[in-house]
Chain A
Amino acid sequence: MKLKGQAHKYGANVDTDVIIPARYLNLTEPAALAAHCLEDLDAQFVKRVKRGDLIVAGANFGCGSSREHAPIALKAAGVGGVIAASFARIFYRNAINIGLPILECPEAVAGSEAGDNLEVDLTTGVIRNLTRETQFKAKAYPPFLLDIIAAGGLVEYTRNKLASKGVT
């Protein structure tokens, strides 16, 4: 599977409170959450982002709360995937669970600027910066996570497992 889009670049420690501020957590609809995505960090983001665009950010992306509303808001806002130098632990799980592609690759972050055109091959982890004609390789997922990703998320993965055990 390939992703292609423009880079939106942010620094380190982008926390879940700026990805989706708590004042909107009484909302549960993805589209309603998406309307406020990143607004305290970059008020223009939601207006600027085009479907399939990629977030490129520094270390510890998604630190803070366990709110799954954060990856849901990003996905619903049209973000195709997030490339970061590193991810906070809970955000990492949440993104995999709901099917938001995430790639850990500090080199790609250092080598890309806002507005660059990027292409990501999720199967190989190869990130190409089309604007600068450079290429990077993201850290591979552990095989176990690949099974969850291949199933389409944790719910689907668990359903398959339960079905094979004859639970449902």
Chain B
Amino acid sequence: MGMTMAEKILAAHAGRKTLDPGDIVSVRVDLALANDITAPLAIQEFRRLGVARVFDPAKVVLVPDHFVPAKDILSAENAKLMREFAREQGVHYFEVGRMGIEHVVVPEQGLVAPGDVVVGADSHTCTYGALGAFATGMGSTDIAVAMATGEIWMKVPPTIQLVYNGTLPPWVGGKDLILATIGDLGVDGANYAALEFTGDAIDALELDGRFTMANMAIEAGAKAGLFEADWQALEFLRERTSRQFDIPVADRDAHYAAIKEYDASKLEPQVSFPHSPGNAKPISQVGDVPIDQVVIGSCTNGRMEDLRAAHEVLRGRQVHPRVRCLVIPGSQEVYLRALKEGLLASFVEAGAAVSTPTCGPCLGGHMGVLAAGERCVSTTNRNFVGRMGSPRAEVYLASPAVAAASAVLGRIGSPAEVVGLPEAARGEQK
């Protein structure tokens, strides 16, 4: 019987011809990752293993991003511990000023290729599925073992195939697809499973939108979320890596635990209400929700396409007087491109605050923590109680276009309300 993408990749890394969901296998790791929050614990456990060197410094990457530029003394100490370990071991490391959010930086730096197995001490490691890698989040101890041995145990997940048919309506993109999907599956609907995203709407979706979707696979409980690498992925990789790789493709007779089809052409922009990413509603059913803050950025939506979408809405307009709008490019590369394209100037002219890349407000760390009673529209991936600050604050998850429109309106609203049709769609209608 045929295999799904996830099964093929895991079989290749376990030295097996075939395997089945539920099998427990030891797999070779192509990249092990940790950040300034999870690395200190991973380093401590690495030391306890009694191994002197990491298995391969070229296959280990440490990225400070959560609490840097250091927000307080404890965070500075953690970042320092990680920096010293990175120097000692000679692994990949991206310092403030040359860094960004791990899941934006790691693919940009060409550290992930199709067919790779990537494990990270961060739940959103699944982001790299957009390039056709099997990438999954784990804890610090697992990563310590991966760094020491280059191997990790995994239970082969069953795969759920998600098929998106039709043409995406204006202002509807990857974030809307994934929020609607999590709304449908539920926050544990794909627990332990791998997701395979496919269909015409996916073929037409730009790569940044796929990063957004793969990123949130974990929000449905999934272990990984995979896309077949196409010309867009290859284009992205061409200038970033010289490694040879095969592109994993699911067999025609692969077995899926479930296949779900969605009609993408019927979808509206989505908003996930507090306090669960699964509380997705179409924008037309949101009602009147006044807001205090907007955050545009994160490993979910801090890439070029995201900033361009926000720019199309904010350009030449003003952030509502009651609203604080924070724009946080996901990496220095994105920051510089946005700067050169003039996007950042329009954000500042609109009255938005533009920050250096950081996770910052996404996890209530710094750079925009919410007070009790405040409401925030955020392009991030979680709106749990207390996620962005006070346990009595409310977070609404949405796309960059919806977040930008809400910043202008002072309440949750649609980009169509602010600008009408997007530029691309206007062009087509002429």
Residues of A that sit less than 8 Å from B by CB: 13, 15, 17-18, 21-23, 25-28, 40-41, 59-60, 63-69, 72, 86, 88-90, 93-94, 97-98, 142, 144, 153-155, 158-159, 162, 167-168
Contact = CB atoms under 8 A, between A and B. Distances in A.
Contact of B387 (A22, A93, A94): A22
B50 A159 contact: yes
B140 A68 contact: yes
A165 to B, nearest CB: 10
B40 A28 contact: yes
B49 A97 contact: no
A34 to B, nearest CB: 15
18 contacts: A15-B382, A17-B384, A23-B386, A26-B71, A26-B72, A26-B74, A27-B74, A28-B41, A40-B386, A41-B385, A64-B384, A66-B122, A67-B38, A68-B38, A94-B138, A158-B149, A162-B51, A167-B51
A72 B223 CA distance: 22
Given A26-B74, A162-B49, A90 B387 contact: no
B66 to A, nearest CB: 7
B391 interface: yes
Interface string B141-163: 11011001100010100000000
A25 B362 CA distance: 13
Interface pairs A-B: 6 shortest CB-CB: A94-B139, A26-B74, A60-B188, A22-B363, A68-B139, A40-B391
A22 B41 CA distance: 15
Nearest to B189: A60
Nearest to B47: A155
How big is chain B's contact interface, by range? 35 or more
A97 B141 contact: yes
A18 B384 CA distance: 8
B67 interface: yes
Given A86-B188, A144-B24, A158 B145 contact: yes
Contact of A89 (B141, B192, B387): B192
Given A26-B78, A155-B145, A13 B153 contact: no
Nearest to A158: B145
B378 to A, nearest CB: 14
A13 to B, nearest CB: 6
Contact of B139 (A26, A40, A90): A90
Given A63-B188, A155-B141, A17 B148 contact: no
B142 A97 contact: yes
Interface in B359-382: 363-365, 369, 382
Contacts of A86: 188, 191
B121 A66 contact: yes
B69 interface: no
Nearest to A15: B384
A67 B37 contact: yes
B411 to A, nearest CB: 26
A59 B360 CA distance: 30
Contacts of B51: 162, 167-168
Nearest to B22: A142
B48 interface: yes
Given A40-B391, A154-B145, A158-B145, A66 B139 contact: yes
B53 to A, nearest CB: 11
Contact of A17 (B78, B121, B188, B386): B386
Contact of B123 (A26, A41, A90): A90
Contacts of B141: 68, 94, 97-98, 153-155
B148 A158 contact: yes
B209 interface: no
Contact of B187 (A63, A94, A98): A63
Question: Most chain-A Cβ atoms within 10 A of its Cβ — which of B121, B142, B192?
Answer: B142
B24 A142 contact: yes
Nearest to A12: B188
A65 B385 CA distance: 13
B203 interface: no
A94 B384 CA distance: 20
B75 A22 contact: no
Given A23-B364, A155-B144, 7 more contacts: A17-B382, A17-B387, A25-B37, A60-B188, A68-B141, A90-B138, A98-B141
